Amino acid sequence: MITNRKIEHLTLCTEEDVESGKTGFSDIRFVHNALPEVSKSTLDTTATFLGNHFSNPVFIAGMTGGHPETTRVNAALAEAAEQLGIGIGVGSQRAAIENPKLIESFSIVRERAPHAFVVANIGALQIKEYELEVVERLIEMVDANALAIHLNFLQEAIQPEGNTDAEGCLEAIESVSKSVRVPIIAKETGAGISREVAVRLKKAGVSAIDVGGAGGTSWAKVEAFRASNDPTLERLGTLYESWGIPTAVSILEASSLPIIATGGIRNGLQVAKSIALGASLCGIGLPLLKPALNGSVHVINEISSVVEELKVAMFLTGSTELDDLRSTPLIITGETAQTLQLRGFNLMRPQERR
């Protein structure tokens, strides 16, 4: 069942409009620097996350594996990660635990990206049930540098086969965080992570957060498509398709831990804004799916365009390295500013407060 679902999700994500909601990035602007006094050709896009170094901050969000046909998708994504010197995640490895024949659809990532920072993936709902030995197998399967534990309760609430018993997840995350040898990244999948949840995750021993905010791929929308012969579920998915904390807001909400900004990141200007708000890396999912079906060259081209776009934002703000983006003036307006103010955030950067 899981294997069929994986391929259904992949097909829907490549054939239908599965995005919904607002990321908040359109409310955020840099102040143009007419005298940047830096050379665009020598800008440094290198990024650091959990002590690892990357040639640029783009991270390939964990999406797939779990069906024989996904092996070539993961292979293309992994080859791109290896060639570009960036990090990569895999999709939920649950299917490979239940059917070892599917291991290759995940292990291909480490095979094709021997030097990359690879992130294993499993749901919080699964780790509640798994023995520690099973969690260790997930990490070994891709020789992972970190383990992402995903939180996807919006999707579970709409999926016909969804599991909505969220009790005991934090305790399970805490127990895994204490026991495994790699850092744990808590990861949403499109509804974002709040300050309160980030603090609880930090206390539980989580090392980083992938905000997986709203405004990009909507799992409620994907499930609404899948439920086209079940009017109740279809209606539920449509009602909740834009539910969640916008990615730009969630970056600030979850800032008590190092952050991967994921959810609706579609260009290098949004990457620059995410870094300026405090993210260390920026995850891109859906836009890499179709290119991956056509081979690694297409994935490399897409990510290279994003990096070029990032460089122009750096140039026009006089930022020689990513860290400089964090101190460049930023204007936050509209719904994003209102939301942040209502949530108690100071919109002025420390150096702007007079």
Instruction: Choose one: 36-44, 97-105, 224-232, 281-289; the region binding ligand FMN (CB under 6 A).
Output: 281-289
Q: Which of residues 55-74 bind ligand FMN (CB under 6 A)?
A: 61-64
Mark residues 21-60: x for contact with ligand FMN by CB under 6 A, - for none. Answer: ----------------------------------------
| Burial readout 66-91 (b: 16 or more C-beta within 10 A, e: otherwise) | bbeebbebbbbbbbbbbbbebbbbbb
Residue number, nearest CB to ligand FMN: 216
Binding window for ligand FMN (CB under 6 A); candidates: 69-77, 223-231, 259-267, 299-307: 259-267
Q: Is the dihedral of CA 70, 162, 286, 187 positive or negative?
A: negative
Q: How far is the CB of 213 from ligand FMN (least distance, A)?
A: 8
| Site track for ligand FMN across 136-155, x = CB under 6 A | ------------x-x-----
Q: Which of 113, 265, 303, 332 binds ligand FMN (CB under 6 A)?
A: 265
Please give the distance of CA 75 from its chain centroid, rounded to a whole number.
19
Which parts of the chain are beta strand (E)? Answer: 28-30, 47-49, 52-54, 58-60, 87-89, 118-123, 146-151, 184-188, 208-210, 259-262, 281-284, 330-332
Q: Tell whether residue 263 is a contact of ligand FMN (CB under 6 A).
A: yes
Which residue lies nearer to ligand FMN by CB, 192 or 328? 192
Q: If you search the block for the tokens 């499993």, which residue do you land on?
A: 122
- 3-class DSSP state of 259: strand
Residue (209 or 316) nearer to ligand FMN, CB: 209
Distance (Å, whole) CA 332 – CA 111? 43
Instruction: Identify the residue among 13, 80, 157, 325 touching ligand FMN (CB under 6 A).
Output: 13
Longest dimension (CA), the chain: 62
Nearest CB to ligand FMN, comparing residues 38 and 281: 281
